[in-house]
A and B are shown apart, each in its own frame.
Chain A
Amino acid sequence: MYKNPEIAESLKKVEATRQARFEARDTIKRMTADEKDAILRAYHPDYKEENFENLIVGVNKGDKVPHELAAYLQAHSRIKGKNIDLENPKYDVDVLVIGGGGAGSSAAIEAHNAGANVMMVTKLRIGDANSMMAEGGIQAADKPNDSPAQHYIDVMGGGHFANRPELVAKLVSDAPEAIQWLNHLGVEFDKTEDGTMVTTHGGGTSRKRMHACKDYSGAEIMRTLRDEVLNREIPVVEFTAAIELIKDDEGKIAGAVLLNMETEEIMVARAKCVVIATGGAGRMHYQNFPTSNHYGATADGLVLGYRAGAKLLYADTLQYHPTGAAFPEQILGALVTEKVRSLGAQLVNKDGVAYIHPLETRDVNASGIIRECSDRGNGVPTGTGKAVWLDTPMIEMIGGEGTILKRIPAMYRMFAKYGIDIRKEPILVYPTLHYQNGGLEITPDGMTGIKNLFVAGEAVGGIHGRNRLMGNSLLDIIVFGRNAGKESGKAFKSVKLGKLTLDHVDKFEAELDKAGVKTELRSPKLLPNYTTRKDI
């Protein structure tokens, strides 16, 4: 239901060219390596140098990060000027998991399996996480025509070969077992009658290895993990954020300072191991992009780790998902799953031209949309900006009537609420800030340079290099979440904590001062402020 005359006129062209595009769909060329390189350099937001700056404080001094991240990495501690009683911790546990998404839940379950006394803290609720919103699927090379090696090549190529090889090897080799683990927990994957997994392509995959649970893949995985955490009666302290890490006098991790989000009470949790599973950073709105991320995605883990002296890797690379909803305004930035393209929907410009292969990698397709909507002048005006079409009715031409309700019911529902029937009408899309490719650097055991400080999930850097493929983040939260749980579940047994200290926080403050950083900001950010008020 597109009433705007400019949109309606363009829509007519899309409809008029649909049959011809459908017939010629297998002839759309993929870009060469050089063409991809050129389009990224010209149009990808990661290459817009004016939107980055070099850090002047901390272990990554001199490294480039987005302005918005630099501001929070180099801000004051939320406990600056406060007296924290480290001698009488409110909580005392073996393993403290910070974050209640898929990585944190997987870590909690495995640490619990290993016999640890585990506690989870999360600033929202368990399950309020990007994991819950992952729609498209999860990769694993479990079909006869596929192999971990094939998966490895796709991951490295997708990440522009910047990935840490040892992390990628772990990701792809542990993938099938991750799927099996989830299946045994009761996750309902899409299967045929004989139990064969229904798998599709994602952008940049060379084999159909995208497993899915309709287009509620992340929700199905997340709600099952949450149910399992609750079944094990692992304590989950909700609406409680970690605002600083605590070390002991030997420099080992020793817990975290917590903040009750509602009462603002500050508490201390002592822990022999800590797992940072705080997720991404979409709500930082880098370069003013809208985001597909959940409300709490504010790079907290990066800030906590950085102030404690853990190193960042590739914090300058972000993923802009090519297909964020661009219309109607109410869902601006919301994710339109890549599965829509996996199932055959083409990206089409205002004149009805399928200007690119729909399954180029995300960074390339995002750049392609930005090019159509800027230099080429082929974008459709939406009222809030420009966009291109994602021609969803093609899905039913290819897969048969009923495919949309069966395979992408969430997408159908999201647009139907605003009077758009995606079975009959295409939708308007523009890139949305989707994923933090970089993060804290870890070794394959999940540990940072700080002893017994583990990281899992989107807060890790290096697994996906400079661009992540669809279906590899649901995979990475399970593989590296479980891994962090198992490793911390082993490590805590031999830990003897010394005297607890927050000296690293004072040291960081002194460094800020020395570097001449003038700021009123306190970090981590914890939540974005979308009010129109000036007083907060």
Chain B
Amino acid sequence: MENMVNIYLFGKKYEVPASLTIMKAMEHAGYQLVRGCGCRNGFCGACTTIYRIKGQTELKVCLACSTQVEEGMYIATLPYFPLVKKVYDIEKIKPTEQIMMQLYPEIYACIGCNSCTKKCTQGLDVMQYIAYAQRGEYENCAEESFDCVMCGCCSSGCPAGISHPQVAMLARRLVGKYIAPNCDHLDQRVEEIARGDFKATVEALMQKPLEELKELYNNRDIEK
């Protein structure tokens, strides 16, 4: 007999196999999911879920696709979280401290309660990356926030009304575009291709009889 547990989906009790994730348990219970289900593997942030274990006071957050059910779980999914996303032109903004003040001034109202960090489904130090953003340390902010799946849990309890994932998104784009060192070999190769340097060799390959191409492939040297 399969090991079963009792869970409560939106307050209604269901008995489900203990080995399931919350997402699979919902499906097992009969839900044909339309919302709150994306990659099913912890990358897309579509299946933010809050739960409380019967008899405990702590309200926990997780991704339904990668959290196993437990006995007495009271579960509610949050398939959409209204984050504030400011619109900007990446070509026109500059990676200065002013840009954060301009687009996301609420980050300076952080009171240091650390609710965001406690709620992160990825285990990130969210409050720390917001502190980096406040100080204009975008590289640190980008690194600290890199594994963010933008589910929005962090923002759900923020007394300052910060949309943490969007702040981090801006920081990462600033770093990627303006702060990280430029890649010279890439620019050079793009220029060479635009000049047509490789056109003839590629075209020659396209014309090659199959046997010759196979020969080339089977005997190509492979970089160690």
Contacts and interface: CB of A to CB of B under 8 A. Distances in A.
Interface in A117-171: 124-125, 127-128, 132-133, 140-145, 147-150, 152-154, 156-157, 161, 165-166, 169
Given A153-B213, A169-B202, A195 B41 contact: no
A24 interface: no
Given A166-B206, A207-B223, A413 B34 contact: no
Contacts of A177: 190, 193-194
A185 B177 contact: yes
B222 A191 contact: no
A86 B88 CA distance: 37
Contact of B181 (A184, A194, A261): A194
Given A173-B202, A193-B181, A157 B217 contact: yes
B89 interface: yes
Interface stretch (B107-115, B126-134, B166-174): B166-174
B140 interface: no
Interface stretch (A9-17, A40-48, A343-351, A525-533): A525-533
Q: With a 10 A CB-CB cut-off, give which of A186, A219, A531 has the most chain B CB atoms.
A: A186
A206 interface: yes
A409 to B, nearest CB: 6
B198 A149 contact: yes
Contacts of A330: 19-21, 24, 66, 68
B162 interface: no
A336 to B, nearest CB: 11
A206 B220 contact: yes
A186 B30 contact: no
Contact of A169 (B28, B46, B150, B206): B206
Given A132-B43, A414-B66, A531-B32, A125 B38 contact: yes
Contacts of A193: 181
A137 B210 CA distance: 29
Contacts of B183: 142, 183, 189, 191, 195-197
A38 interface: no
Contacts of B40: 294-295
Interface string B17-32: 0011100100111111
Contacts of A59: none
B90 interface: yes
Contacts of A186: 90, 172-177
A233 to B, nearest CB: 6
Nearest to B203: A169
B44 A133 contact: yes
Nearest to A170: B202
Given A231-B89, A331-B41, A414-B41, A149 B202 contact: yes
Contact of B34 (A230, A262, A335, A418): A262
Contacts, number: 223
Contacts of A165: 205-206
A72 interface: no
A52 interface: no
Contacts of B27: 530-532
A447 to B, nearest CB: 20
Nearest to A144: B185
Given A197-B186, A216-B146, A219-B43, A228 B38 contact: no
A532 B29 CA distance: 8
Contacts of B58: none
Contacts of B146: 188, 214, 216, 220, 409
Q: With a 10 A CB-CB cut-off, give which of A127, A201, A220 has the most chain B CB atoms.
A: A127
Q: With a 10 A CB-CB cut-off, give which of B30, B172, B189 has the most chain A CB atoms.
A: B189
Task: Kindly list the 10 A-B residue pairs having the minimum CB-CB distance in the complex, ordered from nearest.
Answer: A186-B173, A195-B181, A157-B217, A128-B38, A186-B176, A188-B176, A186-B177, A149-B201, A530-B27, A142-B189
Given A188-B180, A417-B67, 20 more contacts: A33-B218, A132-B38, A141-B189, A147-B201, A148-B193, A154-B217, A157-B220, A186-B175, A187-B176, A189-B176, A189-B183, A195-B182, A195-B183, A223-B150, A227-B85, A292-B41, A330-B19, A330-B24, A410-B43, A531-B32
Interface of A: 32-33, 124-125, 127-128, 132-133, 140-145, 147-150, 152-154, 156-157, 161, 165-166, 169, 172-173, 176-177, 179-180, 183-189, 191, 193-197, 201, 206-208, 214, 216, 218-220, 223-224, 227-228, 230-231, 233, 239, 261-262, 292, 294-295, 329-331, 334-335, 409-410, 413-414, 417-418, 527, 529-533, 536
Interface of B: 19-21, 24, 27-35, 37-44, 46, 66-68, 85, 87-90, 122-123, 142, 146-147, 149-150, 169, 172-177, 180-187, 189-190, 193-194, 198-199, 201-206, 210, 213-214, 216-218, 220-223
